[in-house]
């Protein structure tokens, strides 16, 4: 395997730690993330004034000459597969995909093939600079297998690091459309009594809890108020259906991004998503509130009615603001049409 040598000089007033100084001063065109640099230091691939230094906490002074030997990215063990993709945007640094429901993002023991990563490897055709030293797409966020919608994937270390930072800081704009049981209205006294639920101006439901893996069912997330990870979801009603109203199209947006966050939060609020096999079940609707066709459509809907509709972020290399929208997929559009009858 070939390698490339990167040399540069530590500028004035460097951070005391080697890893932080190197991360600050490494040339941008090297496209090395902080995580990759830390790994290279640990592997003995970095020298300071000709001497190998493997301690990331070592002191380094201004004027020190840094050299890094970086092996070229190796091929991923994941195989490419010719799977059609709906590409919303692509450049040298990243790609935005409108993922269909039913597609897993990354290979796992239960889904070793047919994933988004397999499809992307085929699409790139080897023209991939690599993430973390491996020629693979950089997955910085995921959406569930049966959730449709927008997903951004990095094509280089620099893009991966830039996107990951934005997700960590919760500056990425993410809006979802969902169809839920009931109508999450601030005038509902039951909903106002749900722990962690509150309402903001404009009848916006705010759900603030902690989330963690369920103690007995490892496929589920559980709502907690101590322990776990902080999670905040907001939702507003776009349209309600039935007489009396018994279902709603809602728009949800995330302050944090946790596994199953919208699904588990809406279920906690008593407004689980239509079709959700994990948190929703098959709820009985009022007999005459909806037409028979609408009732049948709700009962037959095969997945959680959730779609990642809007994705906005700053380009991780150029800084240009980017914002993308994906229309509702056909199955959710047809469900809405039935509910409106």
> Would you please indicate which residues are annotated as catalytic (active-site) residues?
144
Asked if residues 246 and 272 have their Cβ atoms less than 8 Å apart, the reply is no
> What are the CA-CA distances from residue 296 to residues 25, 110, 257, 292 (Å)?
61, 31, 33, 6
Helix, strand, coil share of the chain (percent; to 5): 20, 35, 45
What distance in Å separates the CA atoms of residue 275 and residue 179, rounded to the nearest whole number? 9
What distance in Å separates the CA atoms of residue 239 and residue 237, rounded to the nearest whole number? 6
Residues 100, 135, 258, CA angle at the centre, nearest 5°?
A: 45
Q: Is the peptide bond before 169 cis (omega within 30 degrees of 0)?
A: no
What distance in Å separates the CA atoms of residue 277 and residue 59, rounded to the nearest whole number? 54
Asked if residues 103 and 115 have their Cβ atoms less than 8 Å apart, the reply is yes
């Amino acid at each position: 395997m070939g390698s490339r040598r990167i040399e540069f000089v530590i500028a004035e007033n460097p951070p005391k730690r080697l890893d932080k100084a190197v991360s600050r001063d490494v040339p941008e065109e090297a496209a090395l993330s902080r995580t990759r640099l830390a790994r290279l230091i640990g592997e003995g691939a970095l020298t300071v004034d000709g001497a190998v230094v493997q301690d990331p906490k070592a002191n380094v002074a201004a004027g020190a000459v840094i050299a890094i030997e970086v092996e070229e990215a190796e091929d991923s063990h994941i195989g490419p597969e010719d799977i059609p993709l709906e590409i919303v945007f692509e450049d040298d640094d990243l790609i935005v995909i409108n993922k269909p429901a039913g597609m897993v993002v990354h290979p796992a023991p239960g889904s070793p093939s047919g994933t988004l990563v397999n499809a992307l490897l085929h699409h790139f055709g080897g023209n991939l600079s690599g993430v973390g030293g491996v020629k693979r797409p950089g997955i910085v966020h995921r959406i569930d297998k049966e959730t449709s919608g927008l997903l951004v994937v990095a094509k280089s270390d620099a893009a991966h690091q830039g996107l990951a930072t934005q997700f960590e800081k919760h500056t990425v704009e993410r809006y979802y459309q969902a169809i839920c049981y009931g109508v999450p209205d601030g005038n509902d006294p039951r909903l106002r009594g749900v722990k962690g639920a509150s309402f903001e101006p404009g009848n916006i439901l705010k759900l603030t809890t902690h989330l963690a893996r369920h103690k007995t069912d490892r496929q589920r997330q559980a709502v907690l108020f101590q322990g776990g990870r902080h999670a905040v979801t907001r939702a507003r009603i776009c349209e309600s259906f039935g007489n009396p109203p018994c279902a709603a199209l809602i728009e949800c947006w995330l302050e944090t991004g946790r596994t199953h966050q919208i699904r588990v939060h809406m279920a906690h609020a008593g407004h689980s998503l239509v079709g959700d096999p994990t948190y929703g079940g098959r709820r009985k609707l009022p007999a005459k509130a909806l037409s028979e066709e609408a009732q049948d459509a709700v009962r037959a809907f095969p997945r959680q009615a959730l779609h990642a509709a809007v994705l906005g972020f700053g380009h991780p290399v150029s800084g240009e603001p980017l914002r993308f929208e994906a229309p509702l997929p056909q199955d959710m559009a047809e469900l809405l049409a039935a509910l409106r009858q």
